[in-house]
């Protein structure tokens, strides 16, 4: 498992290639109506180099090479049908996919279906299968953005071109609020820390932790002596909401749709409660703005902290002063010398800009007001 964790966080690493006559990727899949696979792949350190290949299958069997001895992220889909439905509409694209890291020089065999699959190819993929199994309960929380019109307009996400932008939350018990009203988006652009781009987003999704729904259902079922919802129920609901949001982000990105997390939805509790008609025991965990990237937009990926500072073996490590300085060296070197906070270093800049800011204090106040109903004062 440790090898897998370091592979995932060290997205630039490479291993020595071993000569092999075997195809890089092969296997047998069931449950795919088409006889063709769509394969998307890109080097993990260069997402802009994404390529798409079509691979023929014979009775579910396939084999192919991607070439280039670099660590790659790979997605395998069933090729969608282009035959119109009876009503003349274009069939929805299924977002079910097999995804994995392809190690250079390490052939991999895939068996199963797009829903349930197994990877074979050495100890790395044994660990990978273990992680997939552990995450199965969460991966099915929401199948977001899995039914999308093929003719979505390039410049936005208008209602007349979208059949569905997210699937029903089959195993997730929170709620998603789909915001397309210009009036509501205008309001949110002000209440969420005055960020004008929010009102220009073609689509906004707000992910709620919804404990209210559960406890109403308990009443419908005639449960006796129902205790009030607790903070544990709230925190678990927030966890589920954030998992669902991240699934939506990944699905959207695979369609070329960009997104931005807006944590400021947790501010201005009273205003948002009224605006969104939120009952007690609900909590807006996060908000996503969604839209297509502009033409020729160059996505810049931020430098991440070295895994030595964020991945620890077995127990938490409280970093000492020297390690903390090493961790933030790049941030310190890239910090603007002149800034509105008049900060002398990166730590002071973040503290003044984030922790001690007006929006942070408002967020703290709002969260306290929101969770009061979860606290048993008896």
Q: What is the DSSP string of 102-156?
A: E-TT--EEEEE-SSSEEEESSHHHHHHHHHHHHHHHHHTS--TT-S--TT--TT-
- pLDDT value of residue 88: 60
Q: How far apart are CA 13 and CA 45, in angstroms?
A: 9
| 210/84: higher pLDDT | 210
Band of pLDDT at residue 277, cut at 50, 70 and 90: very high
Look up tokens 């396939």; give the residue.
62
Question: How does DSSP classify residue 340?
Answer: T
Contact partners, residue 169, CB within 8 Å, separation at least 6: 141, 142, 175, 176, 244
Please report which residue ranges of the chain form alpha helices under DSSP H.
2-9, 123-139, 182-191, 197-200, 211-220, 231-254, 269-275, 321-327, 329-334, 346-350, 358-371
Least confident span in 86-100, 241-255, 278-292, 309-323? 86-100
Query: How much of the chain exceeds pLDDT 90, in percent?
Result: 33
Give the Å distances, CA to CA, from 5 to 41, 312, 316.
Answer: 20, 10, 16
Q: Per residue in 335-363, pLDDT tens?
A: 888 888 889 999 999 999 889 889 899 99
For residues 368, 370, 372 and 373, what is the CA-based torsion angle, rounded to 10 degrees?
-170
- Which residues are registered as beta bridge partners of 202? none
Phi then psi for 372, rounded to 5 degrees? -55, -40
Band of pLDDT at residue 73, cut at 50, 70 and 90: confident
CA atoms within 13 A on the CB side of 378: 5
Which of 215, 327, 360, 225 lies closest to 282, judged by CA? 215
């Amino acid at each position: 498992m440790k090898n897998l964790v370091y592979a995932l966080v060290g997205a630039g690493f490479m291993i020595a290639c071993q000569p092999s006559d075997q195809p890089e990727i092969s296997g047998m899949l069931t449950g795919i109506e088409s006889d063709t696979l769509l394969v998307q792949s890109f080097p993990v350190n260069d997402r802009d180099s994404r390529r798409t290949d079509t691979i023929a299958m014979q009775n579910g069997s396939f084999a192919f090479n991607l070439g280039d001895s670099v660590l790659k992220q790979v997605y395998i889909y069933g090729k969608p049908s282009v035959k119109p439905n009876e009503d003349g509409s274009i069939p929805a694209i299924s977002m079910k996919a097999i995804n994995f890291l392809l190690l250079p020089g390490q052939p991999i065999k895939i068996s199963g279906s797009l829903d349930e699959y197994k990877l074979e190819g050495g100890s790395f993929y044994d660990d990978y299968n273990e992680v997939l199994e552990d995450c199965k309960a969460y991966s099915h929380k929401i199948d977001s953005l899995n039914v999308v019109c093929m003719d979505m307009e390039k410049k936005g996400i208008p209602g007349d071109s979208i059949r569905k932008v997210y699937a029903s939350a089959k195993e997730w018990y929170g709620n998603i609020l789909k915001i397309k009203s210009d009036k509501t988006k205008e309001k949110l652009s002000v209440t969420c820390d005055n960020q004008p781009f929010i009102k220009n987003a073609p689509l906004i999704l707000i992910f709620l932790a919804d404990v209210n729904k559960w406890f109403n259902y308990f009443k419908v079922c005639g449960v006796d002596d129902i205790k009030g919802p607790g903070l544990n129920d709230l925190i678990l609901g927030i966890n589920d909401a954030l998992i669902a949001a991240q699934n939506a982000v990944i699905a959207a990105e695979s369609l070329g749709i960009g997104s931005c997390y807006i944590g400021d939805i947790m501010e201005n509790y009273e205003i948002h409660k009224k605006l969104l008609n939120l009952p007690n025991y609900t909590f807006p965990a996060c908000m996503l703005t969604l839209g297509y990237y502009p033409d020729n937009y160059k996505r810049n990926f931020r430098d991440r902290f070295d895994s030595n500072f964020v991945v620890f073996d077995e127990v938490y490590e409280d970093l000492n002063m020297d390690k903390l300085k090493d961790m933030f060296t790049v941030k310190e070197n890239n910090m603007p010398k002149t800034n509105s906070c008049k900060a002398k270093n990166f730590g002071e800049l973040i503290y003044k800009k984030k922790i001690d800011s007006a929006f942070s204090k408002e967020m703290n106040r709002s969260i306290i007001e929101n969770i009061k109903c979860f606290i048993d004062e008896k």
